[in-house]
Structure 1
Amino acid sequence: MTTEAKGLKDEPRILMIGTGDTKADELLFMRERIEAVGGRAVMMDVSVLGDPPYVPDHDRHAVAAAAGTTIEAIAASGDENTAMTLMAKGAANLARSLHERCAIDGMIALGGTMGTDLALDVALALPLGVPKFVVSTIAYSHLVPPERIAGDLMMILWAGGLYGLNGACKAVLSQACGAVVGAAKAAVVPPADRPVIGMSSLGKSCLAYMVTLKPELERRGYEVVVFHTTGMGGRALEAIAAQRGFAAVFDLSLQELANHHAGSVVSSGADRLENAGRAGIPQIVAPGAVDMVDFPTWQPVPPRFAERPYHAHNRLLASVTSDGPTRREIARAIGAKLAGATAPTAFILPAGGIQQWDQQGEPLHEPDALTAFVDEMRAAVPGSVEMHEVAGHINDPAFAAKALEIFDRWVAEGIVAPGVRKGEAAA
């Protein structure tokens, strides 16, 4: 069977990014490994002070030009942070242009903190589905804020890579090269045959609405992508929304917003609940699970939550509930973010509860704190947003029915593009 019959891409072109003036040995080894496993390296040099001992496909002058400046101006810009930020801008712009011209099929970057800083911008410039791999001395570190991480970014620790090639370094670099080539060969580009709906949820047991909404929206001719709001799920939703990748968003689980408000590392970044509105995407919003704050189980309970109801989901993730005053703060934060939306936005407030375990008889049932949140939320929703209140719980059928009622009206009014059912051609 041919590779074409298998759906595999022959000789994928991998954009390889690094500072060739200081890491030529590593980069040339990576080029050799990429070509050994059936890829083709497209080398981009992001050096500032010198040229590499090889001829890159895109040299540092081209990178600087893509940032709207010259390499001489970047070198004289003042300090290494300013210089590398400008090179990051150029590298991201150039990578985006190469992808739009169908000149690359994936990217891999190599670096310490400086190179990783640049590589994160490049990865964010490429859409979901383009393989992205960063070999970094700070892979998976808390130095990397969630808003800098592309939703499908892959990382590996550059073990033994501080200075020169060695056995450990070669083992890591060869794995990374094989991984990105394999990903580029096997990658399936997201189809554009139906409008895409982005939806947030926190698991089926905590928030059950997706069980109803997903098949109903698919029946209407939409593809539905559900994001698990445990930090990076919300980050992926925000990143795709920022690139205008959705026809509409059902952002019904805002638990990551509460995490960020509380200073938890289980965060999607400061811009959670902002990108769809900023990009002009219609959105239906609800406060699912926003009464809980997550933090690592392996860390002590934050002092401010020491007396709150606590639940360890597993050895990685634990939760506590917020008290009434904190829930009022969160309600106001939600309202402020909704006020920035530039497209039709509807907010559904389920007054009977916002996650499975806050109901009567459940361990997180706190009616006074829920009442405080509901009262504050009624006042916090700005006048520019449609306000809909349902008396029941977020997991009740009436909640999902209200969301579909709003959505169907928006489709009828032309606010949301119509779906494409089987047998129909995409517009």
Structure 2
Amino acid sequence: MAKVYVVGTMDTKGAELRYAVERVRAAGAESVLVDVGTQGSGTAGDIGAEVSAAQVAAHHPGGTHAVLGLTDRGTAVSAMATALTRYLATRTDIGAVLGLGGTGNTALVTEAMRSLPIGLPRLMVSTVASGNIAPYVGPNDLTMMYSVVDVAGLNAISRRVIGNAAHAAAGMALHSPPVSGTDKPGLGVTMFGVTTQCVTMLREAMEPTHEVYTFHATGTGGQSMEKLADSGLVAGLIDVTTTEVPDLLVGGVFPATEDRFGAVIRTGLPYVGSVGAVDMVNFGARDTVPPEFKDRRLHVHNAQVTLMRTTPDENRRTAEFIVSRLNRMPGPVRFLLPLRGVSAIDAPGQPFHDPAADQVLFDTIRSGWQAAPNRQLVELDLHINDPAFAAALAANFSELRSS
């Protein structure tokens, strides 16, 4: 039977963790209590834990002494997070992971939780779950439950909250959703409002042969797609919309991380990409645009989103970022350039039409491209939302999959 791994610091949260284990078992699931306390030898205070802190710490690349007994708590917590991540990777019987704690333990346990594959239940009862939880959750199906009262002793409120969390974790471990009835391979596709026409046509072309997962390119969207790639849940990617890159480089609100495209480099999955919506950097409402950009070419997309046209220099930097990672992809790659415009508002008569800035983008990709048998740069005298461009994306991906 898959087990619920209950994780926390036994030296400070022992009673709460043992209560969670009691409720998991009462709900009919098996459990494993894991201590990740960082103070002392790793054995003191771990009474009741099946896995001691020392056993977890031993999975750190530097060994137990790189984790336990450190004087700096922040360093110790970070080291234990690394150890817990590596420990959980060795387990083959995880049905769910349940964590309890405050700020330190939330950071520690959720870092390890984020390394687990999409679809594996993870639930964190935390004092910080009612605030900004994006750093803890990231692009994962990780559930955060607000503890209401501090995780500092058992009382009528904490028993109810922890009990509910334990029953939820037990239920997820005991009752996996049925496997999808389709035998179509999964396909990740990135989209933005200004590339919707392209992606809609692309999706219609690919759906007869693939289960298409569309991701809105809002920073987290690209991360979520690559998380699926790392988790082995897609057969390839058609990365139409790489707009998160200029947001990263210029300071927009929908940024990629430095690991953008990293999943393709690690997995070697078939990859077809383009430069959709890299003509823009995203901000919030008009009055939130940073002062240094007030005189730039701006377009109010809606009341909550203001777009800023990228300059030739910003397009050069974007292209350098993208092509440097394309050159490192070991699997089959096709990268398509729409020479007549990269978004719905980058076209004649539209507010972001700027052929000179686009030319810098295209020229930089051409000059940085490293030819290889597995990689092909495809230039098309089309706009990104032209039907023929969507058809070309689909055809190139199909060729990669069949080769």
Matched, 1:212 2:201: yes
The 3 A distance-change label for structure 1 pair 137 and 383 is farther
Q: Which residue of 2 aligns with 1:242?
A: 230
Out of 58, 75, 78, which is 2:68 matched to?
75
Pick from 225, 228, 233: which aligns with 2:213? Answer: 225
Match of 1:352 in 2: 340
Is 1:264–2:252 an aligned residue pair? yes
In 2: Cα distance, 1:295 partner to 1:108 partner: 36
**Among 93, 97, 119, which residue is 2:90 paired with?**
97
1:154 lines up with 2:147 in the alignment:
no
3-state DSSP of counterpart to 2:214? strand
SS at match of 2:6: strand
CA contact (8 A) 2:37 2:53 kept: yes
Query: Are the structure 2 counterparts of residues 36 and 68 from structure 1 closer, same or farther at C-alpha, using a change threshold of 3 Å?
Result: same
How much has 1:250 moved relative to structure 2? 0.9
1:265-287: CA deviations, max 9, x gaps? 42231111232123222211101
Distance 1:309 1:383 in 2: 37
Q: Does 1:87 align with 2:73?
A: no
Q: Is 2:46–2:53's contact at 8 Å kept on the other side of the alignment?
A: no
User: CA contact under 8 A between 1:277 and 1:283: conserved in structure 2?
Assistant: no
Unaligned regions of 5+ residues in structure 2, if any? none
For residues 402-424 of structure 1, the C-alpha deviation after alignment (integer angstroms, 9 at most, x for no partner) is 122222322332xxxxxxxxxxx
Equivalent residue in structure 2 for 1:386, among 373, 376, 394: 376
Does the 8 A contact of 2:139 with 2:220 survive in 1? no
- CA distance in structure 1 between the partners assigned to 2:265 and 2:112 by the alignment: 24
Ranges in structure 1 where 5+ consecutive residues have no aligned partner: 1-10, 414-427
Task: Provide the residue aligned with 1:337 in structure 2.
Answer: 325
Maintained 8 Å contact 1:120/1:150: no
Q: CA deviation at 1:336?
A: 1.6
Deviation at 1:165, TM superposition (A): 4.4
Stretch of structure 1 that moved more, 175-184 or 334-343: 175-184
2:34 is the counterpart of 1:44: yes
- Aligned-residue Cα RMSD (Å) equals 3.1
Q: Where does 1:403-422 land on structure 2 (aligned, <5 Å)?
A: 403-413=393-403
Q: How many Å separate the matches in 2 of 1:53 and 1:377?
A: 56
Which whole-Å CA distance do the structure 1 matches of 2:292 and 2:130 have between them? 27
Aligned twin of 1:125? 115
Alignment of 1:10-89 (within 5 A): 13-35=3-25, 39-48=29-38, 49=40, 51-52=44-45, 54-67=47-60, 71=64, 74-76=67-69, 79-89=72-82
2:88 partner amino acid: A
TM-score scaled by structure 1? 0.81
What is the aligned counterpart of 2:302 among 290, 313, 325? 313
Deviations along 1:199-246, one digit per CA (max 9) or x if unpaired, are: 21124x6322332333433323x3322222112111111222234443
When residues 352 and 230 of structure 1 are mapped into structure 2, their CA distance, relative to the original with a 3 A threshold, is same
Deviations 1:131-157 (A, max 9, x none): 1122334447669648x7242122234
Distance 2:324 2:131 in 1: 31
Indicate the SS of the match to 1:118.
helix
Superposed counterparts of 1:299-310, under 5 Å: 300-307=288-295, 308-310=297-299
Q: Which residue does the alignment assign to 2:362?
A: 374
C-alpha distance in 1 between matches for 2:325 and 2:396? 20
Distance 1:300 1:113, change over 3 A: same
Offset of residue 298 of structure 1: 8.7
Structure 1 residue 67, shift from structure 2 partner = 3.3
1:393 maps to amino acid: H
User: With structure 2 as the length reference, what TM-score do the two structures score?
Assistant: 0.85
Distance 1:189 1:68 in 2: 37
| DSSP 3-state at the match of 2:117 | coil
Structure-2 residue corresponding to 1:423: none
Aligned-pair identity (%): 29
Q: Displacement, 1:179?
A: 4.4
